[in-house]
Amino acid sequence: MITKRIIPCLDVRDGRVVKGVNFQGLSDVSSPVELGKYYSDSGADELVFYDITASAEGRRLFTDILTEVARTIFIPLTVGGGINSLDDFDRVLKYGADKVSVNSGAIKNPRLIFEAAKRYGDQCVVLSADVKRVDGVFRVFARGGRENTGMEAISWIKNGVSLGAGEIVLNSIDTDGVKKGFDLEMLDAVCSAVSVPVIASGGAGGIADFVTLFKTLPRVDAGLAASIFHFGEVTIPALKAELRKNNIPVREV
């Protein structure tokens, strides 16, 4: 039986892990390599690295770190942030990424999904969507959640899947950083619309939120979180033990 995946997310800027609350007020947390190794050893099923660096120098720093991570950690690695072209795909795949997550780059140029899926396979292309309710409608936001694209989220995500996205990371801006649980309503709408794996992101405040997520929405494949893991509020072994107790299949380490 396929297991539910637990995925810590590491936002990396200038070679360090940072985490924003509602995408603002970033604070330096730790070394990506050390933190990645710690998570892998404690049972993380996958790691996501978002490169939130803007400068070329920071980009180089990021690929150096990615290589170091891929040399020491043998679980799937997804990389996102600043992916705007096939060259960007090439760059991170060459340095050790297994999957590449596109967000604003795909909003600017949806064909990027198609071209990347054709070259590297659907399994390599993850569509990450930052979604927020605006007047009761799910809208897609770009540029790290700062800009309302006006696009309706469900049709954007369906379009992404038809272009070749192999997985969806759904990040609810409404619940992100609030720590009161995942956005079940939004996730349910996306799971009903697409048949590729859906990864829930935004809102986890504790172990119970993951139990609720997988119990309420069995179609969700994975739960992603950052700060609750980085600050040790939730450890992955404790989280997995609780999921197992609730008959939710998870990988043992």
Partner 1 sequence: MIAIVDYGVGNLFSLKSSFAAIGAEAVVTGEADVLRAADKIILPGVGAFGDAADKLRACGLDRVLVDEARRGKPLMGICLGMQLLFEKSFEYGEHAGLALIPGEVRPIAELIPPTLKIPHIGWNALRFTEKKSPLFRGVKEGDCVYFVHSFYAADCAAAVIATAEYGAELTAAVQLENVCGCQFHPEKSGPVGLNILRAFCETEGTTC
Q: Does 221 bind partner 1 (CB under 8 A)?
A: yes
> Which one from 51, 88, 130, 209 is the annotated catalytic residue?
130
The interface region with partner 1, picked from 79-87, 131-139, 169-177, 190-198 by CB under 8 A, is 190-198
User: Given the DSSP bridges, would you call strands 16-21 and 24-30 parallel, antiparallel or unpaired?
Assistant: antiparallel
Query: Does an H or E element contain 107, and which?
Result: helix 104-108
Q: Could you tell me which residues come within 8 angstroms of residue 25 by beta carbon, excluding any fewer than 6 positions away?
A: none
Q: Does 115 bind partner 1 (CB under 8 A)?
A: no
Q: Does 196 bind partner 1 (CB under 8 A)?
A: yes
For 231, the token pair is 């600050």
Report the residue from 23, 49, 62, 120 that binds partner 1 according to the rule CB under 8 A: 120
Question: Measured between alpha carbons, how far is 42 from 108 in angstroms, rounded to an integer?
Answer: 38
For 24-82, where are the alpha helices, taking DSSP H only?
32-42, 56-72
Residue list 126-165, contact with partner 1 (CB under 8 A): none
Catalytic, 130? Answer yes
Question: Measured between alpha carbons, how far is 88 from 81 in angstroms, rounded to an integer?
Answer: 10
**138 in Cβ contact with 129 (< 8 Å):** no
Report the residue from 20, 58, 76, 206 that binds partner 1 according to the rule CB under 8 A: 76
The interface region with partner 1, picked from 12-20, 51-59, 68-76, 150-158 by CB under 8 A, is 68-76
Question: Measured between alpha carbons, how far is 77 from 68 in angstroms, rounded to an integer?
Answer: 12
Which is nearer to partner 1, 2 or 56 (by Cβ)?
Answer: 2
Q: Does 37 bind partner 1 (CB under 8 A)?
A: no
Which residues sit at the interface with partner 1, rule CB under 8 A? 1-3, 5, 40, 45, 67, 70-72, 74-76, 93-98, 120-124, 166-167, 195-197, 221-222, 251-253
